[in-house]
Amino acid sequence: MKAVQIVNPFEMQVVELEKPVVGAGEVLVKIKYVGFCGSDLNTYLGRNPMVKLPVIPGHEVGAVIEEIGADVPAGFEKGMNVTLNPYTNCGKCASCRNGRVNACEHNETLGVQRNGVMCEYAVLPWTKIIPAGKISPRDCALIEPMSVGFHAVARGCVTDNEFVMVIGCGMIGVGAIVRAALRGATVIAVDLDDEKLNLAKRIGATYTINSKTENVHQRMQELTNGFGADVVIEAVGSPATYVMAVDEVGFTGRVVCIGYAKSEVAFQTKYFVQKELDIRGSRNALPADFRAVINYMQADNCPFEELITKVIQPEKALEAMKEWEANPGKVFRILVEF
């Protein structure tokens, strides 16, 4: 079967692999679409310390069930549109013991700590197969990244009487905006790109701030009547946005961190204490987050066409990655079609 492989930094190729064979308790899926994630871009650029090259990328998946192994419970049928839960959990670490399996100490995400599924077929345990109802295989590839944003809103315990600032309107930030709006919060979206900010308004943001052309602090004070945000969700991963999150959250507020900053961040730690902040990490997603995204998408409110930047064939993967590297701010999701 055909697969895309990142061989070395800045080097990708299409390779031939053996088609996997389904076993007991497993499901064979025909991969239809796989999204390139920010972690894949970092792997391509040689900036992902968790990856051992060469690696098959891919964990944002739209697939169709091809074959069902023995001992798989009812509820799975050949031809069913599905996505995949790409994470593992050991069942023994502190996170697993506390029921937060998404943050397993020994997690291995497809395409990161282990080979992913940017290939024609994949076999997974039935527990990692997520039926997606009427959502098309193409659109199923958007479920996982959006679920990461949904999970961040859950970590922030967002309610309907709060101001929620979402910094970064990429794919994960979009998920956070949608989920916070669904919970009834007043969402303030922040980004450098006006096109992304316009989309943020269409999916639920009440207000937008262009941090390149506007004074973020002044605007936040105006919009929140001087209180600051109740919850800030950091979905960029840069020192500047981490500092912005702490500066703009109100007293006794919550800061939820999704993005990985690639360098050290210098904070005025007095704000941690003076504001008595809750600073929370948010990693991956739980099954409930996947279900919530599927419910949202099945309500026909998701702007799928605007979230899919382009669909390519496997042979164009290297070219597409070079284009993304050159202009990262203009890309939501690039899907590889098999």
Average pLDDT, 10 consecutive residues per value, the chain (338 residues): 97 97 98 95 91 95 98 97 98 97 97 96 98 97 98 98 97 97 98 96 98 98 98 97 98 96 90 97 97 97 95 97 90 95
pTM of the model: 0.96
Residue 329 has a pLDDT of 83
CATH of domain 2-142+302-337: 3.90.180.10
Complete DSSP assignment for 130-185: EE-TT--HHHHTTHHHHHHHHHHHHHTT--TT-EEEEE--SHHHHHHHHHHHHTT-
Residue 179 has a pLDDT of 98
Name every residue whose Cβ is closer than 8 Å to that of residue 335 and which is 6 or more positions away in sequence: 33, 34, 35, 36, 138, 141, 308, 310, 311, 312
Residue 18 has a pLDDT of 97
Element (H or E) spanning 263, and its range?
none
Residue 53 has a pLDDT of 94
Domain ranges of the chain: 2-142+302-337, 147-281
Residue 272 has a pLDDT of 97
Domains 2-142+302-337 and 147-281 share a fold: no
Residue 82 has a pLDDT of 98
Residue 328 has a pLDDT of 85
CATH of domain 147-281: 3.40.50.720
Residue 262 has a pLDDT of 81
Backbone angles phi, psi at 69, to 5 degrees: -75, 175
> Where are the strands (E) in 235-275, listed by range?
249-257
